[in-house]
Amino acid sequence: MRIDILTLFPEMFQAVLGQSMLKLAREKELVSYHLWNIRDYTLDKHKKVDDRPYGGGPGMVMTPEPVFRAIEEVERDDSEPARKVLLTPQGERFTQSTAEALSREKRLMLVCGHYEGFDERIRQGFDFLEISIGDYVLSGGETPAMVVIDAVVRLVPGVLGDEDSPEVESFKNGLLEYPQYTKPREFRGLKVPDVLISGHHERIQQWREDQAQERTRIKRPDLLKRPGPKTVSR
């Protein structure tokens, strides 16, 4: 998978993409990251990327020219057409289902806005999948883009080993994860449940299922009555 990231702050991504699973995925050549600075696509000598809103009001709005030029030029950098994603509070909520659908794409282009928003004509000019990571206001689309990249890349086949196969983890079956323990068997008076030491694989499996059910019922009852799988529309 190829991931193009268009942003005014490419440096924000260096640490996140250069560590742990996202770095390993790139080293295994299962994914490539391409960072592009929208400011490099300005045409004026002041490299202006934002301006005051027509009609007045607070804040600044990203100007269309550099964003259009960046998206068009980056698209042409590869013959594979990019699924374009805009991070915005107006988008559809990002879930594990969205991540699964996006993990099947060959090429993603994530467009990160900053300031109060985008000139509306940017939305009109391209076929974006608009994604929101949650109902709160952030200062830019960069941190949401990192969330999307993390959730998507770990689902790309071959990125995770068998040990932490994404199938067994939270949300795949619509439930929260069961409690996990490692050594020591007793820590500050707190013991590991006997069933996990028993070696009875069937009983362990049953205990984990029961724990996941009960935990979900208590902490996230909303997950027990959710709709089925979702697909990303073009």
By CB under 6 A, name the binding residues for ligand 4GX: 87-89, 113-114, 117-118, 132-134, 136-138, 140-141, 144
Secondary-structure breakdown of the chain: helix, strand, coil percentages, each rounded to the nearest 5: 40, 20, 45
Using the minimum distance from each CB to ligand 4GX, give the nearer residue, 62 or 159: 62
Provide the minimum distance between the beta carbon of 118 and ligand 4GX in the complex, in angstroms, as a whole number. 4
Measured from the CB atom, is 1 or 112 closer to ligand 4GX? 112
Residue closest to ligand 4GX, measured at CB: 113
Closest-CA residue to 145 (of 116, 113, 121)? 113
Nearer to ligand 4GX, 118 or 171 (CB): 118
Cβ 202 to ligand 4GX, closest distance in Å? 43
User: Whole-number minimum distance, CB 2 to ligand 4GX, in Å?
Assistant: 22
CB of 33 to ligand 4GX, least distance (A): 19
Is 143 or 213 the residue whose CB approaches ligand 4GX more closely?
143
H-assigned helices in the chain: 11-17, 20-27, 64-75, 96-103, 120-125, 142-153, 194-197, 201-219
Rounded to whole angstroms, the Cα distance separating 130 from 123 reads 9
How is residue 111 written in tokens?
């467009």
Nearer to ligand 4GX, 35 or 138 (CB): 138
| DSSP reduced 3-state for 35 | strand
Edge-to-edge strands, sheet with 61-62: 50-51, 61-62, 117-118
As beta bridge partners, residue 61 has 51, 117
**Residue 97 CB, nearest distance to ligand 4GX (Å)?**
17
